[in-house]
Structure formats: C-alpha cells, structure tokens
Structure 1
C-alpha cells in the first residue's frame, strides 16, 4: 500500500451538493437506481442532522488515528471527512478534539466505518457524525496510512471530492461525474412523488396508481371472503 497525502484534489460543486442534500439520501439513492448507499451499519449519533459535502478520504490502520491528524490539514469549508481502516475496527478513533479542529476549518461532518467517542460533547457541539460504533476504546498514532485516495466503505468506492450525503436514513456517495444526472433524476422523482402524494390524499390506492392489481393476479394472489378462508 502506498502511503500518501494527496493535496487539493478536485471537488464536486458545493452548491450542487447542497441541492442533493436537500432532496435527502432516500430520494437520491432511489433516483440513481438504488446505488451509492454505504449500508445500514452507519448510523447518526444525533437526530435530525442532514448534510452534504465533498469527501476528504482517510485510510487508517486499525486502532490508529495518525492519518486523521494528517487529513485535517487537507480539509476546507464544505468538506466531509470520510474514514475507514485497512481491516475492521470499532475503536473510538474520533472524538471532540478532532471535531473542534474540523469545525474551525468549516468541515460539515464525519462519516466513519470505525467507532467514535465523546458523543455527548459532539452532540452539544452540533457536529454531525455517522459511525459504525460508539466506543471509548482509545487509539495510538504510530502507523502510516493515506489521505485523499480512493477508499471503500460499505461496499462503495469513494474518491476524494465525491459528494457525500447523510441524514437520518443513512449515508451515500454520489461520484462527481454523476452529479448532474443525480440532480435531474432526483428532481423528477420529487415531482413524481408529489403527484402520488396528492393522489393518496384524495383517496387513490397504491394498488391502482401503480397498476399492481394485475401483478397480484400474475403472482396467483386470490381474493377470498373470510368465510371461504375459514372453510
């Protein structure tokens, strides 16, 4: 593994990323053909946070947060720090002191496949975090890793500068090259959902709106009375 710190990689446009964040993870994920989700194991330590930013990626060794220290220098306003390790690790690699330094640099939040600690302080600071674990277990600062290289988290490859969206529904990545398509598809989905919402408010059933009655028939589903079912 090459241990490098890549400086100033290209980043997605923050205004576009912000628009995607407003749509929400569930909408953008569906709009992109149900792709990009980092999985249900990454959960927020707070309720109601919704962020979108550009990825600064960090590859650490298990139980070692040296490269998070190195990554902070590479962060700029609008970034989201994304951390993973070379093998599974639930130790608390990140806490309140790191968050203080990142807030100073305008970083919007943290996504990590490891553990975090100082969660009460992080909530009080309004620093959004999505992590795979909460753990008081400490770390060392002894092993070289990398910053701003492609990493894999939750089965998804994340490149530095990609869009990271996170809210109560989870975390997803939108590659820089897919931003325009994500915006178009998400807006179309919002409009479609609004039309369905109005139809449901007026009493229409999903069975009819989505033409699902024929699907039930194709699958052999029968309507029977309670009396016939008991017999």
Structure 2
C-alpha cells in the first residue's frame, strides 16, 4: 500500500475550537442536528477529561504503526491525532512513547479506531486517549499509508483540520467549515438547557415544559388508579 503525507492542511480557527471546548460532546452533536458522533465503541481511557482540537488524520495498515511515526512530524499545538486502519484492528498501535513525543509538540490527545496500550502511563502523564480497544499487542513498522487525508470512522468522514471534541461520552467531529456555526448553536442550546434546569429545580415537570401531556393523549395513553387498572386485569 503506497500513500501520501500531506503537509500544512488548513485548520479550523483556534477561537472556534476553543469556543467548542466549552461544550460537551452530546451538546455539540445535538446542536448540529444529531450528527458527527463516532460510534459508542470508541471509549476514553480516562475519566473526567474533555479535549477539543484540530484533526491530524492517519490511515494505517492494521497492525502497523509506521504512519503514526510519520504523523508526529505533522502535528502541532492544539492538534488531536485521529488514527484508523484499512481493515479492523485492535492491536495496541499507540502507547506512552508516542504520547511523549506528541505532548512535546502540544498535541491534546489521540482518537483511534484501533487499540491503545500503556494506558496507566497515559493517565499519569495527562495525555488523553479514546480508542476502540485496549491491547498490549504490539505492531510492526513496515507498510505505507497516508497522513492528513480524509478518513472514515464509524461512518463519519474526518478531514484534516476538522474539529475533534472528546469527553466521557465519546467523540464528535465538527467539519472545519461549520466550526463557528456549531459553537454558536451549542451556546444557544446550552442556554436553553440552563433555563430548563432552573425550571426543573423549581419543580416543573418535563411533561408540562415540553407539552408532553398532549402527546400522551394523542397516542391514547390514559391514566388509571391502581384499583381500576388491577381490576381490569383480574
């Protein structure tokens, strides 16, 4: 497999990335019309961490981390490395030594459709990771691939320079061209949720705030006392 290493792709504006960093993955995905989520199998190797950054993408051969080595050179301050393979792979393609090199370049974390190892060391050094698997299985460095090309993870296309947001709930990708719009929509959604939270703290029910009593009635859902309900079953 031959490949290409694309240098200096355009990235989302830093101010838009930082604006998105204020919101959770669920909020951003909802604000974008429930789009952009990677699959639930990609899970964090730590808890209580949220990162946002611009994608440096890697397409590798399964069981081969040569192109991750090549990608380190293309990474810089505020990036997140996003790695996938040409076919399914759970090998531990990324570990503490890669994290050390990337942390020195200002990279904020890794998202991979394959495996991560050295997870305790990653947590101790504060390098965030999201992966499909945790595996001690090693890899080779023998096959070409590509860096900074469009890749697909769980049906989501990720282009270099897109915004990656990751937290305990998972990972969402925001296309570079929609970063500002997504931040504005997320802010509006969070303001709406804050108002709802205050209403719930004041005792209002979701049934009333969202007009769901009418929905129940339209669906034919009725209220009955226990005695009446139990009597009908007897």
Indicate the TM-score class for this superposition, using the shorter chain for normalisation.
over 0.9
Tell me, what secondary structure is at the counterpart of 1:23? coil
d(CA) in 2 for partners of 1:154, 1:172: 11
- What's the counterpart of residue 166 of structure 1? 166
Q: After superposition, what is the alpha-carbon deviation per residue over 1:8-35, rounded to whole angstroms, capped at 9, x for unaligned?
A: 0000012211211211111111111100
- What's the counterpart of residue 52 of structure 1? 52
1:36, distance to aligned residue in structure 2 (A): 0.3
d(CA) in 1 for partners of 2:102, 2:15: 20
1:207, distance to aligned residue in structure 2 (A): 0.3
Report if aligned partners of 1:21, 1:166 keep a CA contact under 8 Å in 2.
Answer: no
1:172, distance to aligned residue in structure 2 (A): 0.5
d(CA) in 1 for partners of 2:81, 2:203: 45
- 1:58-207 aligned at under 5 Å gives the runs 58-207=58-207
Report if aligned partners of 2:164, 2:171 keep a CA contact under 8 Å in 1.
Answer: yes
d(CA) in 2 for partners of 1:176, 1:119: 30
d(CA) in 1 for partners of 2:229, 2:27: 40
- What's the counterpart of residue 230 of structure 1? 230
Tell me, what secondary structure is at the counterpart of 2:21? helix
Structure 1's consecutive aligned runs of 4 or more residues displaced over 6 angstroms after TM superposition are none
d(CA) in 2 for partners of 1:133, 1:180: 32
Report if aligned partners of 2:2, 2:144 keep a CA contact under 8 Å in 1.
Answer: no
> Which ranges of structure 1 fall in alignment gaps of 5 or more residues?
none
d(CA) in 2 for partners of 1:3, 1:218: 57
1:71, distance to aligned residue in structure 2 (A): 0.2
d(CA) in 1 for partners of 2:2, 2:55: 20
Tell me, what secondary structure is at the counterpart of 1:160? coil
Tell me, what secondary structure is at the counterpart of 2:48? coil
1:2, distance to aligned residue in structure 2 (A): 5.6
Moved more, 52-61 or 194-203: 194-203
Q: TM-score, normalised by structure 2?
A: 0.97
Tell me, what secondary structure is at the counterpart of 2:22? helix
1:77, distance to aligned residue in structure 2 (A): 0.4
